Amino acid sequence: MSWVWRWLFPRWLRSGRVMIGLALVLPVLVLAALAPLVAPHDPQAQDLMLTLQPVRLGSPFPLGTDVLGRCVLSRLLHGASLALWVAVMASLGAMLLGTALAYAAGYLGGWVDWVIGRAVDVWMSFPPVVLSLILMVGLGTGSTSVILAITLVDWTRFCRVMRAEVMLVARCEHVAAARLLGLSHWRTLLREVVPATIPLLVTLLALEMGIAVVVEAILSFVGMGVRPDQVAWGQMIADGRDALYQAPANLLAPVAAIIVTVAGFNLLGDGLRRTLDVRLVEGAR
Amino acid sequence: MNLVASFARRLLAAGLILLVASVLLFAALRVLPVDPAGMSIPPAATPAEIEEARRQMGFDRALPAQYAIWLGHMLSGDFGRSVHLGRPVASLLAEAVPATVELALLAMAIAGILGLSGGLLLFVLRAEGGRGEAGEAIAETGTVLLMSVPAFLWALLFILVFGVVLEALPFTGRLDADLARPVVTGFLLLDTLLVADTAAFLSAMRHMVLPAFALGIAVAPPVMRVLGASLIDVYHSDYIRQARLRGLSETRVLLGHALRNAALPTLSVLGRHFAFLLGGSLLVEVIFSYPGMGSLMLDAVRNADLPVIQAVGLTYCAVVLAVNTVVGGLYLGLSPRPMPG
């Protein structure tokens, strides 16, 4: 029976933080994927006779309505789809760009490492929000632009940490052995270096998802994120702020959604860091 | 001597980074589908007049030449004129930068104090005499949860609780409407102190409580974690054992000996997170209608006001580099260990 147990609960899962993180993230992911099916109303449908309804569970509008009479719950669910779509795509994008450069810098060293290191320095000298806003000016609004902007800003998070890890792994004996056996650089990298860095990559990816959710919310909040016809949590916050006195739930619902989602990804990432035994020094170069 | 040389090298590196950043910023904003020349003249202008304006602004030349002209202007202090507001960018910046610097410094102080007390709490929870593993898990989960609330959400929650529900603190602008603003240096807190206007100083402080706490509390958790971790490291060293053997109380060992050495990594974390704090201040300023660089930047971004975007973006960059250089210098100066290279 013990193999069933081990199969159901592998080592990386045996941590309170990983479990709580998954317990927060998985429902959000499922609801986001099923938003069009489970949302009680069309998120854009206005009912100007029923504006700023209060929270009343069991009513047609469980979380009330906003200033245009739109269902807050439906908007929350559709906002989740957008937030997680952006988070997944942007995190993968940042991961691909950042780790590709990190493998190049850490494995090849020399001037390649120097150039990539200085590029990271330049990027890090901008506050991330400022850089993403500037990029959004150039890219124009829309979810694809948001994904691109987050990718182009946050690749440094992967690059900084992965470069150090790749350098450590590249000095290991099994890498030297692979080279001595006559494997090409490319095969050595793919077969000996990349697998050793996967745990760190998974951890960073989980943390980046949370960051991407926040950045998307920030950009949509200031009106520089998705297009006005898309439903986003940041936009709901901006609308809810104007109805702060009449219907605080309009503001609190998306704020709570962001905090729960981000906390889920952060707990997951932090727990994985422990169970996968990743040396992740906070903010280390 | 070594210290001075090392600091000078950091300063030079920061200058070079700023230069490269300016190239990137210039290039990124030149691919935009907007025409600053077309926007800066009346809509009734003829094509010939637009062409004339474009030539005057140098848009008919090659990009490197345009960059050289722009850089020359920037270096001579001419930051251009805001297309949207019709005012020189330099005077806009002169009003906005002191406001943001005051807010950021206050927030850093709050982050430092919260980080220090939180870090000590984490350490006590983790220490052998404490609750051991359970205490550690609670403490770590707590900081992760704190880290999950970004500054702009703190700002909104604070407005809801302290501004709207409790009506305890103001949450727009910098001063009560009936107070006159003294101008000496441009730094409001400093100016009100210089002219000894207590009422204005207190009003300005009350207006800064919520934004500064929203920013500080968002940056504090990483500081807590690093301080907690480095305290644990420090406790493994010989001099702590020595201090204990000399019969010092645990509190004195912690506060008098361990904290001083554990503070050094904490300082560098605080410095490294300054860029995030400054980025967070952009949103926090917008939310609290605080007239700083963030409000100026967002206004410019919404109106595609290129001269302002370029100048404010570069100023953000310069502030981050300046703070990083100073913190790096402090670190070198305070570090008891010989530095590499």
Question: Residue B272 has what pLDDT?
Answer: 83
Question: Residue B36 has what pLDDT?
Answer: 60
Determine the average pLDDT of the residues in B51-68.
74
**Burial of residue A88, with CB atoms counted within 10 A of its CB: 0-12 exposed, 13-18 middle, 19 or more buried:** middle
Does residue B49 lie in a domain region? Answer: no
Determine the average pLDDT of the residues in B110-138.
78
Residue B260 has pLDDT above 60, yes or no: yes
Which of B157, B279, B280 has the CB atom closest to A255's CB atom?
A: B157
| Domain count within chain B | 1
Question: Residue A176 has what pLDDT?
Answer: 84
| B275 with A124: Cβ contact below 8 A | yes
| Nearest C-alpha in B relative to A20 | B141
Q: What is the CATH number of the domain that holds B319?
A: 1.10.3720.10
Q: Say if residues A92 and A204 touch (Cβ distance below 8 Å).
A: no
Does residue B182 lie in a domain region? Answer: yes
A16 part of contact set with chain B, CB < 8 Å: yes
Does residue B23 lie in a domain region? Answer: no
Using a CB-CB cut-off of 8 Å, the residues of chain B touching A210 are 148
Q: Say if residues A253 and A79 touch (Cβ distance below 8 Å).
A: no
A136 part of contact set with chain B, CB < 8 Å: yes
How do residues A203-234 score in pLDDT, each as one tens digit?
999 999 999 999 999 999 998 988 888 899 99
Question: Residue B341 has what pLDDT?
Answer: 39
pTM of the entire structure? 0.88
Does residue B82 lie in a domain region? Answer: no
Question: Residue B338 has what pLDDT?
Answer: 52
Does residue B216 lie in a domain region? Answer: yes
What domains lie within chain A, and their CATH numbers? 12-48+57-284 (1.10.3720.10)
Residue B339 has pLDDT above 60, yes or no: no
Question: Residue B127 has what pLDDT?
Answer: 67
Does residue B33 lie in a domain region? Answer: no
Number of cross-chain residue pairs from A and B with Cβ atoms under 8 Å apart:
132
In this prediction, residue B128 has a pLDDT band, given cuts at 50, 70 and 90, of low
- pLDDT tens sequence for chain A (285 residues): 577 777 777 777 777 888 899 999 999 999 999 888 887 888 887 877 777 777 777 777 788 888 787 888 989 999 999 999 999 999 999 999 999 999 899 888 889 999 999 999 999 999 999 999 998 988 888 999 999 999 999 999 999 989 988 888 888 888 888 888 888 888 888 888 888 888 889 999 999 999 999 999 999 999 898 888 889 999 999 998 888 888 888 899 999 999 999 999 999 998 888 888 665 544 333
Whole-number mean pLDDT of chain B? 83
Distance in angstroms (rounded) separating the CA atoms of residues A196 and B181: 60
Residue B43 has pLDDT above 70, yes or no: no
| A129 with B280: Cβ contact below 8 A | yes
Closest CA to A93 of A9, A212, A256: A212
Question: Residue A284 has what pLDDT?
Answer: 35
**Which A residues 116-135 touch B at CB under 8 Å?**
118, 121-122, 124-130, 133-135
Q: Distance, in angstroms, between A234 CA and closest chain B CA?
A: 10
**Range of the structural domain that residue B203 is part of:** 96-334
Using a CB-CB cut-off of 8 Å, the residues of chain B touching A23 are none
| B144 with A267: Cβ contact below 8 A | yes
Residue B107 has pLDDT above 90, yes or no: yes
Q: Say if residues B106 and A228 touch (Cβ distance below 8 Å).
A: no
Q: Say if residues A109 and A189 touch (Cβ distance below 8 Å).
A: no
| A128 with B276: Cβ contact below 8 A | yes
Does residue B318 lie in a domain region? Answer: yes
| Nearest C-alpha in B relative to A224 | B302
How do residues B140-195 score in pLDDT, each as one tens digit?
888 889 999 999 999 999 999 998 888 888 888 888 877 777 877 888 888 888 88
Does residue B239 lie in a domain region? Answer: yes
Which of B14, B137, B297 has the CB atom closest to A133's CB atom?
A: B297
Question: Residue B336 has what pLDDT?
Answer: 65
